Structure 1
Amino acid sequence: MDIEGFVRREINIKDQKTIEKILSERIIEHKDLNPEKASKMAQAVIEEVKNTLKIQGLEDEFLKELMEVHGADISMGKMGVGSRGAGDFFVHRKIAEIVASSSTSSFINPTAQDDGGVVKVHAPEDKMFITTAVDGIHSRLSEYPFLGGFHVARAALRDVCVMGSDPVAIISDLHLADDGDVGKLFDFTAGVAAISELVKVPIVAGSTLRVGGDMVLGDRLVSAVGAIGVSPHPPTARKRAEAGDIILLTEGSGGGTITTTAIYHGLFDVVEETMDIDFILASEAIMQEGLLPQVHAMTDVTNGGLRGDAHEISTTTGLGMEFYQEKIRKMINPRVLEMLEKLNIDPLGVSVDSLMIIAPEEVALQSKKVIRKAGVKVEEIGVVNNSGSPIMIKEDGSKEELRPLFREAAYTKIKKLVGDTTPEDFELMKQKVQQAAQKSIAKKDRVVQSIKGN
């Protein structure tokens, strides 16, 4: 429970005594405190929040703007942020615009909507491309920290690999709420360390803090793991795809999303299917064979499933893609596919953690050979063309345009209740989000100019 957030919501609705009483009761639910101590804590939070409200009366407009938020009046949940669908993709593009508005630049930046970012540096003898990526733990794996750490570390390394980089370091940022058992920290770190040991990439740095400090009660775990990779070659970014390229797909057994689906439906045996490093083995096989400079693009089938990735690639490149449904189904782990179909979850709308490779025909043929030699299943599942949109050829011969849903396919009961239909006012929502992003860019510009002026 966010006790500061509660006070901020209620401060202009209820009287202070009522807020204090409710908050004291909530604190006692989480803390072994007597009513007097809980009441004092509630009073302290209320006093602190009341002090912050004085910001609204500041005469110094610059200082006031520094501390006020240019709200969009659209919540994360309503916009579908983090749910890997149309709403999430839109917000990420706005974030990328803010990044792009700075005077700095990189070889691959967030505007490309790629798996990782890349900077080019000039080493003493040659140029070097450095790739960075960061992923957050799946929110529903807070109670299963080892699995959370394992899958988020693998995801970060995966994002570096698909950019054509050789992973060299892992970093970890871990936040556990005030009432969380410190054992969760250790279990999470052990999960990250398991991946580190399996792929022989060291954990080099990290940070451990409480979620919201004293202001959040409970034991929720949130975290992120980052990875750094290096390569002497330009990245295998999505924008390099060309018409005529062959699309390959490795077998996917899923990661955090599939693990969550299995756990919360009581299908625990499927969890074991997700515990592998096949993706990284496939990437390494291509690197070691020296094929990377000839591969046009690589990506992982994660954000919103194949629907989301195909849409993002087409949007970035302006090209089209043709996929074959029957071949894609064969590249989903049989037990995972069985679970998804049993639960009526669209296999094309969830993260199955396959490696998708886009390359000229001869390079694709060589890639298949080395990946299979590494013990990983891989098949040709489609081609790139100039149609401008991703199309699925179904088993009955009919065609369907692959479009991301507003949210990724609902894979838990609560997600099914939330739904994945596009809100009727989605266009208005996008306008409000766009305006908020523009105001944040303007705010950044004013702060930068002020500091430079001083």
Structure 2
Amino acid sequence: MDIEEFVRKNLRNGVPEDKIIEDGFKRILEFKDDKDLAIKFIKAVLEEVKNSERILELKDETLKNILLYPKSGVKMGEAGVGSRGEGDFFVHREIARIIKSSKVRGIIDSEEQDDAGVVKAEGKYIIAAVDGTHSRLSEFPFIAGFHVAKAALRDIYVMGAKGLALLSDVHLADDGDVGKIFDFTAGVSTVSDAVNVPLIGGSTLRIGGDMVLGERLVSSVTAIGGGDKITARRNAKEGDVILMTEGSGGGTICSTAIYHGYFDVVYETLNVDFIKACQKLIDKGLVDKIDAMTDVTNGGLRGDAYEISKTAKVSLIFNKEALYKTINKKVLKMLEDLNIDFLGISTGSLLIICPEDIKDEIKKEINAIEVGYVEKGNKSYIEEDKKRVELKPKFRESPYTPVKKVVDRDPKDFEELKEKIMKACDKAIEKKKMVLERILNRQL
């Protein structure tokens, strides 16, 4: 419960202050068993919000512009942000536009929609990636920490780099039990020990400071790596073959299992096979011969194949029958029982795109399965019974929990939403340029 949001929303809607205090007092008592604290707290929040709302009255338009954000009129859920589908990919491309407006750029950054960013220092590639904890694992912090650490490291290894370090960032709401922080850290540390990549630091804060009541945990893990070659998506070439390892999923599969009661499937996800396979490819020198790698996570194969095709400007052709072999049997049975499209969900397989002459050596080392090939074009397809169907993301990933199925719907006019989002992004870029210019000219 965000008390600041509650007060600000009511104040802007013209609700009398006495009513805001009365209703806010009751809301706070749902979390805090202290009437004296509750009444003082709601009055203090009201005072703070009223003071901050005076920004709207500022005559200094430049300062007002800096403090207020450009409203798009599109909500996160409406845009599908975080749902690993067409809407999410679009918003991330808009984020990349802000980065693209910078003079200082990485060798690989968000513009390419890759798994990690890359810069070069003293002849070596430095790779960095950050992953956020799965939102539905707040009540299961060890699992949350384990899988977000694994996800961040996957993003490093698929770039052909060795993992060097992990950083953890934990935000827990005001009423959250401190034990959640310890459990989350233990999950991250388990992966750290299992793959020999040290957890070297991080940050711990409360969500919204004093303002957010409840026990919600949000967190992320950053991974740092280094290497001599980049196996980025853009390097996929016509004539390459596509290999995949068996995937047993991560946070998404765990959430599916927990919220549908398939608890034993959680065991299947507790491994670091993906990272071990990448480490073996690096140690054997095979990664130097591979063109591109990725993890099947961004809305499943639908999302990853779509993004690779757009970035590398090639067509990926997959054999559907072979793809069934790339999913852990217990995980696949759960997905089939629940009628969840396995092509639209994160399964955690390692996808390798490589020249045909090294495929057998790779298959021998890491037990990969040949699932397709790369040809000229710019779209991806799945083949079954000699028929091709375009493989592209839906607006959201496959709905994998009861709640996801309720909210799973396409927007009425996605093009209209995109236009609004782009305008907000334009304004953010304009603000960035204005503030940067003032800083460089020492006007602030």
Structure 1 and Structure 2 fold alike (TM over 0.5): yes
The separation in 2 between residues aligned to 1:21 and 1:279, in whole angstroms, is: 54
CA deviation after TM superposition for structure 1 residue 102, in Å: 1.1
For residues 64-79 of structure 1, the aligned pairs below 5 Å read 64-79=64-79
Is the 1:169–1:229 Cα contact (8 Å) retained in structure 2? yes
Give the corresponding residue for 1:32: 33
Once the two structures are superposed, residues 145-198 of structure 1 have per-residue CA deviations (whole angstroms, 9 ceiling, x without a partner) of: 000000000000000000000001000000000000000000000000000010
Give the corresponding residue for 2:327: 332
CA deviation after TM superposition for structure 1 residue 281, in Å: 1.1
The separation in 2 between residues aligned to 1:268 and 1:276, in whole angstroms, is: 16
Q: Is structure 2 residue 198 aligned with structure 1 residue 202? A: yes
Counterpart amino acid of residue 378 in structure 2: G
For residues 418-433 of structure 1, the aligned pairs below 5 Å read 418-419=407-408, 421-433=409-421
Q: Is structure 2 residue 428 aligned with structure 1 residue 440? A: yes
The separation in 2 between residues aligned to 1:283 and 1:143, in whole angstroms, is: 31
Counterpart amino acid of residue 39 in structure 1: I
The separation in 1 between residues aligned to 2:134 and 2:331, in whole angstroms, is: 18
Once the two structures are superposed, residues 89-115 of structure 1 have per-residue CA deviations (whole angstroms, 9 ceiling, x without a partner) of: 000001011011111011111101000
Once the two structures are superposed, residues 304-329 of structure 1 have per-residue CA deviations (whole angstroms, 9 ceiling, x without a partner) of: 00000000001112211110000000
- Any stretches of 5+ residues in structure 2 without a counterpart? none
For residues 115-154 of structure 1, the aligned pairs below 5 Å read 115-122=115-122, 127-154=123-150
Counterpart amino acid of residue 191 in structure 2: I
The separation in 1 between residues aligned to 2:37 and 2:278, in whole angstroms, is: 56
Q: Is structure 2 residue 219 aligned with structure 1 residue 223? A: yes
Is the 1:345–1:410 Cα contact (8 Å) retained in structure 2? yes
Once the two structures are superposed, residues 386-435 of structure 1 have per-residue CA deviations (whole angstroms, 9 ceiling, x without a partner) of: 132101012x333210110100000001110111x431210000000001
Is the 1:308–1:403 Cα contact (8 Å) retained in structure 2? yes
> What is the aligned counterpart of 1:410 among 389, 395, 399?
399
Aligned Cα root-mean-square deviation (Å): 0.8
CA deviation after TM superposition for structure 1 residue 203, in Å: 0.6
CA deviation after TM superposition for structure 1 residue 65, in Å: 1.1
Counterpart amino acid of residue 374 in structure 2: V
For residues 378-397 of structure 1, the aligned pairs below 5 Å read 378-394=368-384, 396-397=385-386
The separation in 2 between residues aligned to 1:415 and 1:401, in whole angstroms, is: 24
> What is the aligned counterpart of 2:237 among 235, 242, 257?
242
The separation in 2 between residues aligned to 1:69 and 1:224, in whole angstroms, is: 24
The separation in 2 between residues aligned to 1:422 and 1:296, in whole angstroms, is: 35
Partner of 1:215, secondary structure, is coil
Once the two structures are superposed, residues 307-363 of structure 1 have per-residue CA deviations (whole angstroms, 9 ceiling, x without a partner) of: 000000011122111100000001100000000010010000000000000000012
The separation in 2 between residues aligned to 1:33 and 1:303, in whole angstroms, is: 45
Counterpart amino acid of residue 341 in structure 2: D
For residues 180-199 of structure 1, the aligned pairs below 5 Å read 180-199=176-195
Partner of 2:256, secondary structure, is helix
For residues 28-67 of structure 1, the aligned pairs below 5 Å read 28-34=29-35, 36-67=36-67
Give the corresponding residue for 2:90: 90
Q: Is structure 2 residue 401 aligned with structure 1 residue 398? A: no
Q: Is structure 2 residue 438 aligned with structure 1 residue 450? A: yes
The separation in 2 between residues aligned to 1:427 and 1:142, in whole angstroms, is: 34
Counterpart amino acid of residue 25 in structure 2: S
Partner of 1:120, secondary structure, is strand
CA deviation after TM superposition for structure 1 residue 364, in Å: 2.1
CA deviation after TM superposition for structure 1 residue 453, in Å: 0.9
Number of aligned pairs? 441
Q: Is structure 2 residue 261 aligned with structure 1 residue 273? A: no
Once the two structures are superposed, residues 278-306 of structure 1 have per-residue CA deviations (whole angstroms, 9 ceiling, x without a partner) of: 10011011101111221100000001000
Once the two structures are superposed, residues 43-74 of structure 1 have per-residue CA deviations (whole angstroms, 9 ceiling, x without a partner) of: 11111111111101111122111100101110
Counterpart amino acid of residue 195 in structure 1: V
> What is the aligned counterpart of 2:163 among 164, 167, 184?
167
The separation in 1 between residues aligned to 2:410 and 2:178, in whole angstroms, is: 40
Partner of 1:370, secondary structure, is helix
CA deviation after TM superposition for structure 1 residue 238, in Å: 0.4
The separation in 1 between residues aligned to 2:273 and 2:434, in whole angstroms, is: 48
Once the two structures are superposed, residues 181-227 of structure 1 have per-residue CA deviations (whole angstroms, 9 ceiling, x without a partner) of: 00000000000000001001101110000011000000000000000
Partner of 1:170, secondary structure, is strand
Counterpart amino acid of residue 326 in structure 2: M
For residues 92-107 of structure 1, the aligned pairs below 5 Å read 92-107=92-107
Partner of 1:30, secondary structure, is coil
Give the corresponding residue for 1:179: 175
The separation in 2 between residues aligned to 1:382 and 1:365, in whole angstroms, is: 14
CA deviation after TM superposition for structure 1 residue 37, in Å: 2.7
Counterpart amino acid of residue 407 in structure 1: R
Give the corresponding residue for 1:375: none
The separation in 2 between residues aligned to 1:183 and 1:385, in whole angstroms, is: 52
Counterpart amino acid of residue 165 in structure 2: A
TM-score (norm 2): 0.98
Counterpart amino acid of residue 439 in structure 2: I
Counterpart amino acid of residue 347 in structure 2: V
